[in-house]
Structures are given as C-alpha cells and as structure tokens.
Amino acid sequence: MKKVVKFGGSSLADANQFEKVRDIILADNSRVYVVPSAPGKRFDNDIKITDLLYESYNLAAAGKNFYEPFQIIRDRYNAIIQGLGLKNSLAHEFDNIEEHLLNNPERDYLASRGEYLNGLIMSEYLNFEFIDAKDVIFFNEAGEYDDVKTNSILSARLENIEHAVIPGFYGSDHNGKIKTFSRGGSDITGAIVASAIKAGVYENWTDVSGLLMADPHIVSSPAVISSITYRELRELAYMGASVMHEDAIFPVKKAGIPINIKNTNHPDDPGTWIVRNTARTSKYTITGITGKKDFCSIIIAKDLMHSHTDFYRKVVQCFEESNIPLEHLPSGIDTMTVIVQENKFIECEQKVLGRITQLVEPESLEVESGISLIAVVGRGMKSQSGTAAKIFTALANAHVNVRMIDQGASELNIIVGVRNEDFERAVRSIYHIFVDSGK
Ligand code: ASP
C-alpha cells in the first residue's frame, strides 16, 4: 500500500519543521510520494513565502524595486538549507527568478516558486527524485484542471519511481506556461497524485490534530472529529467550516481514497479520517456544527398557494433572473420562504421583489436580513431519535429565537436560522448539549 503525503506551509516553515517531516516520512515506508507546500508562517505575525512572492511580483509588475521582499525570501530558504546542512545552494534558482522578475514577470509563475524551491530542498534532504509539477499536472484551454491528461501522464511517470517529491499548488497550461490552483491549492496536488497512483491513503499533514467539531473561535477547545464522510465534510465546508481546499476532495472521493488529516507537531495523534462511508459510529450523534452569518429571508404568502402549480417555479425564476443562488426553501401551507445570501440579494433586491409581485401577486411579501444559518451535521442523526428535540431544547435554554428550520430528507443535517446576534450563543449551546452529555 502506498501513501501520498502532503505537508502544509507551517509543517515546512523552517529547518526544524523539515526535520519533523523527515522523521514522519522515514517512520513509515509506505509514505512514498511527498507533496510540499511553500514555507508558511513560523509565528503569528510571520509572512508566508507565497505572500512574499506575490508582493515581489506586484512590485516588479509596477516597475518598482522588489528587492526587499525578495531578499526575505532568499534568506528564509538559505536558513532552511543551512539548518539542514544541505550541500546544494539555490543561488542559481534565485538568479533565474530575479531575471524573470526584471524582464517579464508572470504572477502564477512567481507564486509557484515557493513550492518549487521547497520541493528541490525536500528532494535533496530525503534523497527522493524531484518531479516538476509543470511536467505532470495540466490545465486545459479553458484554464480548468485537466484530469484526463494529468492522470495518464502522472501515473505513467510515477510507475517506475519508488520515491518522489512533487511540489504542490501548480501545473502548466495548454501553452506550457505555469499556472497555479487557487490559494491553498497544494491540497489539490496531493489529492491528484493520490488518485493518479490509486494510493491507499492520502495523508494531509498540517498543524492541527484533525478537523474540529466546531469553530475554536466560538467554542473553546472543541473535540476533534475522528471520522467523517465526504458528504458530511461537504456540508460542513459549504456552511463555513475551514477544512482542506474544497477542490481537493473531488479527486480522492472519485477514486475512493481515504484522507487522513494529521498533525506534524503531534504525529502520534490519530487525526481525522475522511472516508466515503464507514460503519464506525461517531462518539457523538452529531459530527460537527458550523454556520454563517448574513443571510436574508424573503417570505412570500398567498392563499391557496398550492393550487397554483407554477407558483414555486415562478418565484425561483425571479431569483434566477438576477443570478442569485438559493440557499434554502423552507415552506408552509400558504407561505414559501427563500433564504439567500444578503450580499448577493441586496444589490438587486428591488428588481427581485418587483418581479415576484408581478409574477405571483402575493398577499404579503416580507424581507428580513441579519439571519445566520447554523448547520448541524451528522450521519448518526437518522438512526437516533430526538436529535431535533435536543437542538431546540439547547436553543430554548439559551434563549435563542429560531427563525427557520430545514431538515434535508437525507437526514444528514439540520439547518437552523437564528438572528446574527444569537449566532455564537446558539452554536455553543448546541455543541454543549451533544458533547457534554457524551451523546
Ligand atoms: N503556498 C500556497 C498558498 O499559500 C499553496 C498552499 O500552501 O497550498 O496558498
């Protein structure tokens, strides 16, 4: 069984972190392909190499002097090389990048150098072959990731290579030019490599011991999620939980490869398993809670609404015409509620409301802003009675007024709408009722 191991920026921020990474890789000989990010922050106010590269690019593109940030970048890499006692210097690579900056700077090329240089260092340090991501990861003419071309070239390339380092975050476009994924994109590279070689596991190493059940800014020391399905993760990520790069899920999900989120600083912690499905029940009925503020609800009432079979379609059309995605559509007998993101709605509010009035002639049309949506997610909910009752008991005890409830038929989540000012209190109360009661 082969593992692909991706290390995030904080796991590679200095020589000391590189040493931890090497120990992790050498501790398990199935860890054969390594995907590094660029060096990240060493401490709170530190600057990531990728940000320094973007800054250098911005200055160079404006014809300004870029030496200050560029020198910081050089110094950081040189300190890593020295700290690890490596022989090869990157002086020549820096000259090339500097020349590029002076002549015809390209944003993606510059940004990709953080991973590229870290990949070179890592490959020397581990004595693993270096494979430039530009030769194995491709984007099509539309600028989208080309999975067919990438899979065939990457899997053929890795077939006879036992150990390799493949830098994260970039590939090349149809003209052979460097192109990056969006920020945090090394997660995607790791997933792509894992799926190309049909890895047994994709290990994603970071600086936390797994995904947390709730936002630590809201709930103090939330529990770690030990296992979560891709679908649950999607629900949590969509509603605001910050996990891996969202696009990193698709390649491994398609190939059925489990992801294990691990902590470079505490490698023995089990971390979080992200899997297609699992017979493991989680310790608590819920897997996680997350949420977002600033939604609007538009409540449309009309007597005998259900006898107008085109009612829903017409309402949906009014939002479609203004390109506003619908988040939820909870309904009553003679009312229909549409929940949308406030910032998307407000710009074309009058147009949408005018169209609803014209098309469905409602008896009343109310708008309420400042709504937060909380998603309580858990595969365990469908086999457990009383979950909703527990949520509403928690909210009632915390004196939170519930503005909306939506439970998907899949019973994977329950969405609750509350006022923005009640949001944090509501999340805490739900978390505590499930976690402190141990269920
Ligand atoms: N270095 C890139 C960034 O900072 C990509 C990554 O770390 O995944 O966004």
Q: What is the pLDDT of residues 177-200, one digit of tens each?
A: 999 999 999 999 999 999 999 999
Ligand 1 in contact with 170 (CB < 6 A)? no
On whether the CB atoms of residues 214 and 431 are closer than 8 A, the answer is: yes
In ligand 1, the atom with minimum distance to the C-alpha of 114 is: 1
Q: What is the 3-state secondary structure (H, E, C) of the chain?
A: CCEEEEECHHHHCCHHHHHHHHHHHHCCCCEEEEEECCCCCCCCCCCCHHHHHHHHHHHHHCCCCCHHHHHHHHHHHHHHHHHHCCCCCCHHHHHHHHHHHHHCCCHHHHHHHHHHHHHHHHHHHHCCEECCHHHCCEECCCCCECHHHHHHHHHHHHHCCCCEECCCCEEECCCCCEEECCCCCHHHHHHHHHHHCCCCEEEEEECCCCCECCCCCCCCCCCECCEEEHHHHHHHHHCCCCCCCHHHHHHHHHHCCCEEEEECCCCCCCCEEEECCCCCCCCCCCCEEEEEEEEEEEEEECCCHHHCCCHHHHHHHHHHHCCCCCCECCECCCEEEEEEEHHHHHCCHHHHHHHHHHHHCCCEEEEEEEEEEEEEECHHHHHCCCHHHHHHHHHHHCCCCEEEEEECCCCCEEEEEEEHHHHHHHHHHHHHHHHCCCC
Q: Nearest 5°: phi and psi at 279?
A: -90, -10
Q: Nearest 5°: phi and psi at 377?
A: -115, 140
In ligand 1, the atom with minimum distance to the C-alpha of 182 is: 9
Ligand 1 in contact with 182 (CB < 6 A)? no
Ligand 1 in contact with 123 (CB < 6 A)? no
Please tell me the distance from the alpha carbon of residue 296 to that of residue 3, in angstroms, as a whole number: 45
Ligand 1 centroid to residue 73 C-alpha, Å: 15
Question: How high is the pLDDT of residue 168?
Answer: 98
Which residues of the chain register pLDDT less than 70? Answer: 409, 437-439
Burial class (CB in 10 A: 0-12, 13-18, 19+), 290: buried
Ligand 1 in contact with 190 (CB < 6 A)? no
Spell out the residues 6+ positions from residue 48 whose beta carbon is closer than 8 angstroms to its own.
9, 38, 39, 40, 41, 114
Ligand 1 centroid to residue 24 C-alpha, Å: 21
Ligand 1 in contact with 114 (CB < 6 A)? yes
Ligand 1 in contact with 11 (CB < 6 A)? no
In ligand 1, the atom with minimum distance to the C-alpha of 186 is: 8
On whether the CB atoms of residues 93 and 132 are closer than 8 A, the answer is: no
Ligand 1 in contact with 9 (CB < 6 A)? yes
**The two three-digit tokens of residue 316, written as one number:** 């949906």
Question: Among 17, 41, 47, 50, which is best to mutate for testing ligand 1, by the most ligand atoms less than 8 A from CB?
Answer: 50
Question: How high is the pLDDT of residue 283?
Answer: 80
Ligand 1 in contact with 204 (CB < 6 A)? no
Ligand 1 in contact with 38 (CB < 6 A)? yes
Ligand 1 centroid to residue 181 C-alpha, Å: 9
